[in-house]
Amino acid sequence: MSGEHADRPNGRETNANRRAVLAKRVDAGTADLEEIEQLAAAAGYEIAGRITQTREEDAAYLLGEGKVEELAELVSRTDATHVVVDNDMGPYQTFNVGKKLPEGVEVVDRFTLILEIFAERARTRKAQLQVELAELRYELPRAEAKASLAKRDERPGFMGLGEYDESVERDIKRRISDIREELSSIAKTERARREERRASGFDLVALAGYTNAGKSTLMRRLAAELDVEENADRHPDLGTTAESEDMLFTTLGTTTRRAELDRRDVLLTDTVGFISDLPHWLVESFESTLDSVYRADLVLLVVDASEPVREMREKLVTCHDTLHERNRAPICTVFNKVDRLDEGELAEKRSALSTLAPNPIAVSATEGTGIDALRERVEAELPDWERERLVLPMTDETMSVVSWIHDHGHVETESYAGDQVTVEFEAKPAIVSKARSKAGELTPVDA
């Protein structure tokens, strides 16, 4: 539990002016710094050192005071500019730890770091609004706490937190209300767009799961060459398929592409990755983005199968908890990265996680293993289509109706006899109904 100094390369480009010592406290067991190290690297920090502690939370410092002294010594020795703490810190804990550190060293807690990454990656109006909402919801209780202490203590700038201004709290609440209203308007437009796509015969499939589970790589495997414009939520820097990189939060907004399946026309949407221990307010701030998951026809829940069973179970539980209340679609679990496992290990994980992940599809997005089986599973899990047989009179408009049916459903047979065309096809119920309506409007030329 003592400090460890290391300058290990992490494979990412870092900012030499942002050197961070990582710190974490846990109530019991051994603190795991892997995720916070990935987050810090994603934010552009060079990792200068690490320090952990196992003990109950100290109300004043989070860590014990002695451990904070050790942290300060490690910061001085490594010339760190920041301390990144893998815990949620109260404003006074942040202030107290900062006072123990060399002058100018900034303390960044877990959620501040996550919001920093989100802010950097937010390229669209919707993403920027969601990040700002999360930042304001993070700041609001701190402003309220400051107000409470200001009323109890007459000293300006109590504990170095600055003089309290009542208008700050009001401004935060007003801005939160304004952002929610704008996001609601955006969500309404997106819901209308989804329904238009359904009416055009598309099924909507969403990729969900933890960040770095390989969702974007899997999307590259499934996507067809045709790009689908996602308007405000499309990444402006992406090409024909989603970006794929071993880095957290490469996907912050949503990216939608047409999937390459046999019979069904499917739009596949990649969304922001989940991450452990996110507070409810942060998840709610991205509700508009998660709508693409909640309102899909099918959710592909992607899991990194190379991780230990314990971690896979914890992540599956978190994902199901996040999706449970609002998700309307069936969930198909995808065990990704199976190229890193042997058959025995995969079988053990299937058995151990069968309650949370019944009958998962095993794939390797990087190598293409299991992708054909996944495509078949997607088509099998999507809502059932209706079968229909239409006999159309031959008119000037008949072939355009036949072409429309081809575009919006799966035509099994198409035959011509005399002045009639017979089309047998499968399609979504709404498409079958519309095809019947179009057929009923055809008037024979000699009528």
- Check whether 438 has a pLDDT greater than 50: yes
What is the pLDDT averaged over residues 37-51? 92
pLDDT, residue 6, reads 41
pLDDT score of 250 = 44
What whole-number distance in Å separates Cα of residue 139 and Cα of residue 91? 10
How far apart are the C-alpha atoms of 302 and 324, rounded to whole Å?
Answer: 16
Instruction: Look at the pTM and tell me if it is higher than 0.85.
Output: no
Q: Does the pLDDT at position 245 exceed 50?
A: no
Of residues 284 and 188, which shows the higher confidence score? 188
Residue 2 pLDDT > 50? no
* Residue 287: Cβ within 10 Å count: 15
- What confidence score (pLDDT) does residue 246 get? 42
212-243 in b/e form (b: 16+ CB < 10 A) is bbbbbbbbbbbbbeebbebeebbbeebeebbb
Residue range 329-383, pLDDT digits in tens: 889 999 999 999 999 999 999 999 999 999 999 999 999 999 999 999 999 998 8
Which residues, including other chains, have CB under 8 Å from residue 436's CB and lie 6 or more apart?
388, 390
pLDDT in tens, 85-97: 999 898 889 989 9
Instruction: Please name the CATH architecture into which domain 200-381 falls.
Output: 3-Layer(aba) Sandwich (3.40)
Structure tokens at 182: 């704008």
- E-strand ranges in 152-273 read 202-209, 223-227, 255-259, 265-270
Q: Which two tokens mark 206?
A: 């969403």
Whether 4-118 shares its CATH topology with 200-381 is answered: yes
375, two tokens:
């495509």
Task: Please write the tens of the pLDDT for every residue from 202-226.
Answer: 889 999 888 788 888 898 888 864 3
Residue range 4-118, CATH number: 3.40.50.11060
Which residues carry a binding-site annotation for GTP?
Answer: 209-216, 270-273, 336-339, 364-366
- Helices 429-440 and 166-199 sit at what angle, rounded to 10 degrees? 50
Is residue 305 a contact partner of residue 336, using CB atoms and an 8 Å limit?
A: yes
pLDDT computed for residue 151 by the predictor? 57
Q: Residue 164's pLDDT is what?
A: 52
**Residue 386, CA atoms < 13 Å, CB-side half-sphere:** 14
pLDDT beyond 90 at 57? yes
220 or 281: which leads in pLDDT: 220
Q: Is the pLDDT of residue 445 over 50?
A: yes
Q: Is the pLDDT score of 281 beyond 60? A: yes
In the chain the first and final C-alpha atoms are separated, in Å, by 90
Angle, vertex CA 174, rays to CA 119 and CA 139, nearest 5:
45
For the chain, give every domain's residue range. Answer: 4-118, 122-185, 200-381, 386-440
Residue 240 pLDDT: 38
> In the prediction, which pLDDT does 247 show?
43
Distances (CA, A) of 265 to 84, 202, 233, 311, 413: 46, 5, 21, 35, 18
pLDDT at 322: 78
Name 427's bridge partners. 386
Q: What percent of the chain has pLDDT over 90?
A: 42
Is pLDDT at 98 greater than 90 in this prediction? yes
pLDDT band at residue 115 using 50, 70 and 90 as cut-offs: confident
- Read off the pLDDT of residues 137-161 as tens digits, 9 standing for 90 and up: 888 877 776 666 555 554 444 444 4
Q: Which of 439, 367, 368, 361 is nearest to 401 (CA)?
A: 439
Q: Who wins on pLDDT, 296 or 76? A: 76
- Between these two residues, 340 and 8, which has the higher pLDDT value? 340
User: 10, 1, 30, 25: which is closest to 310 by C-alpha?
Assistant: 30
The whole-number average pLDDT for the span 288-304 is 86
Nearest to 315 by CA among 274, 375, 283, 352: 274
pLDDT at 7: 41
Task: List, as residue ranges, the binding site.
Answer: 209-216, 251, 270-273, 336-339, 364-366
pLDDT at 418: 84
Binding site per annotation, positions for Mg(2+): 216, 251
pLDDT of residue 81: 96
